[in-house]
Amino acid sequence: MRKRDKTCLKATANDPKRRQRMVCLMSEEELRVVDRYLEHYKITNKSRWLRETILTFIHKNMDEDYPTLFGEHDMRR
């Protein structure tokens, strides 16, 4: 069990339930890479790791692509 697993808060009644399923197909090689990574870093909860990894990537890109009043070229003048 990872240290983080011990410190994560348990879901409360107020937390939204995860009712939507998302399916992703992978090749055998891709799955082996993911499983090797999870084993190497001792990650026991694959679905939480996938969820956090995907959402972190999305939030990072949304922050970088946030619309501005002026274009980058105009701001560098």
How do the domains of the chain map onto residue ranges? 45-77
Mean pLDDT of the chain: 86
Closest by CA position to 40, among listed 32, 51, 52, 28? 32
Q: What is the DSSP letter of 42?
A: T
Q: Average pLDDT for residues 61-66, to the nearest whole number?
A: 85
Task: Please give the pLDDT value at position 28.
Answer: 98
What pLDDT was estimated at residue 52? 95
Distance of alpha carbon 25 from the chain centroid: 17
